[in-house]
Structure 1
Amino acid sequence: MTVTPLAAATTASVLAQRLREAIDAGRWQPGELLRQEQIAAEYGVSRIPVREALAQLQSEGLLEIAHYRGARVSRPQAAEIDELFDLRLLVESDLLTRAFGRHDQRSLRELTRLQDRLEDADDRLGWISGDIAFHEALYGPAERPRSLALFRQLRAPIDRFSAQALGPRARKQGWADEHRQLIAAVVAGDATAARMVLEQHLQATRAVVLAACSGEGDD
């Protein structure tokens, strides 16, 4: 991997963003060690901003830092995954319900377009970003910015792990079918069916993430 050195005045926050992007792209896998001296040399910075950047990523839950053992990419625990999905069910069901009746022909065309593009995604980051875009378009008409921000916050730890450990082929047909069923339920105005499909979708996604977390997943 070719790394462009950072300017001497680069802050730790900028370095943290570069490291975050590298982790999301799969350079370091869950449990893998990040070596301070290697990062400092590659990015052309001293150890001080490296330590600060790693501490910032630790505060976000992306890294685990152990004294004398360095920083490793974190792997979410089963209990954390369960809690995140329980909260997602509450928040996203509410957003979906509030969005019902507010979709129009334009928003429905956009949902279909996003789903078409998602089904063509063949890389991890494109797949994750496409799924986020679909759900944001599905919930957007609810006009609940705080709830939508919470939705993004709850997704972030799972998406980072998914970007590292899963791939576009992980349950691809199931995801596509459920997204199409969600679109069909919105078109038909069937809120009950939409909520049932969403719950099925999130529960199935939970199972895939839990399996990958335990080492049983398959790219």
Structure 2
Amino acid sequence: MTATRLAAATTASALAQRLREAIDAGRWSAGDLLRQEQIAAEYRVSRIPVREALAQLQSEGLLDIAHYRGARVSRPQAGEINELFDLRLLVESDLLARALGRHDQRSLRELGRLQDRLEDAEDRLGWISGDIAFHEALYAPAERPRSLALFRQLRAPIDRFNAQALGPGARKQGWADEHRQLIAAVAASDAAAAQAILEQHLQATRTVVLAACAGQGED
């Protein structure tokens, strides 16, 4: 790759990250159009890295790009949400089962610390990042990096929707109770209880996300 092409790729990657953060922060909502010329002017780049950045976000499921109609922020559909949660149940149940016997007092204290911080979160992005950190710490002892990467990939479309549609108050007490119950089950090495709590947790979250998606679809 030439120096020029390398610079362009770097610019596109950096631009994709900035656009991703702007969408997460609520600058554009589901269905909003991202105009190439406006982005190029605002971020002082040419159209080429803009197109590449938009294509990258499309590959992540964040944008829908239609020929001659531009790029729009995607809105998850009920079928996609259900599929993502079905896959999350499979992946996260396996991670939890493998991690269960490997937690120690130090990792359990870390889970408690992360949950304390999560319960104090008041903004949407802080709440989502705190929830991700909790689940990653819960599954980390499994030492399954590919499964953890898949866990993050499956969460991403829903987290971006949640960043705009939900917040810490959506089901705060229920999520907190289930996280605390998960910590207790892991500490007791109770695999059956841990799996049951995780399934309840993900199914309840699915219900909230589906309801929020349906509500936005009525706008």
Superposition TM-score, scaled by structure 2 size: 0.91
Unaligned 5+ segments in structure 1 are 1-6
Unaligned 5+ segments in structure 2 are 1-6
In structure 2, C-alpha distance between the alignment counterparts of 1:12 and 1:100, rounded to whole Å: 41
Q: 1:4 is matched with which residue?
A: none
The verdict on how the C-alpha distance between 1:212 and 1:126 changes in structure 2, with shifts beyond 3 A counting, is same
In structure 1, C-alpha distance between the alignment counterparts of 2:161 and 2:58, rounded to whole Å: 14
In structure 1, C-alpha distance between the alignment counterparts of 2:9 and 2:189, rounded to whole Å: 55
Q: 1:199 is matched with which residue?
A: 199
Q: 1:212 is matched with which residue?
A: 212
Question: Does structure 2 retain, via aligned residues, the 8 Å contact 1:8–1:45?
Answer: no
Cα shift at 1:102: 1.2
In structure 1, C-alpha distance between the alignment counterparts of 2:136 and 2:149, rounded to whole Å: 10
Cα shift at 1:48: 2.5
Cα shift at 1:33: 1.2
1:82 aligns with 2:82: yes
The verdict on how the C-alpha distance between 1:193 and 1:120 changes in structure 2, with shifts beyond 3 A counting, is same
1:33 aligns with 2:45: no
Cα shift at 1:212: 1.2
Question: Does structure 2 retain, via aligned residues, the 8 Å contact 1:162–1:209?
Answer: yes
1:29-66: CA deviation from partner (whole Å, max 9, x where unpaired): 11111122221121112222222211221122111122
RMSD of aligned C-alpha atoms? 1.8
SS in structure 2 of the partner of residue 61 of structure 1: coil
In structure 2, C-alpha distance between the alignment counterparts of 1:159 and 1:67, rounded to whole Å: 27
The residue type equivalent to 1:65 in the other structure is: I
In structure 2, C-alpha distance between the alignment counterparts of 1:216 and 1:8, rounded to whole Å: 37
Aligned length: 211
More helix by share: 2
Q: 2:140 is matched with which residue?
A: 140
Question: Does structure 2 retain, via aligned residues, the 8 Å contact 1:29–1:165?
Answer: no
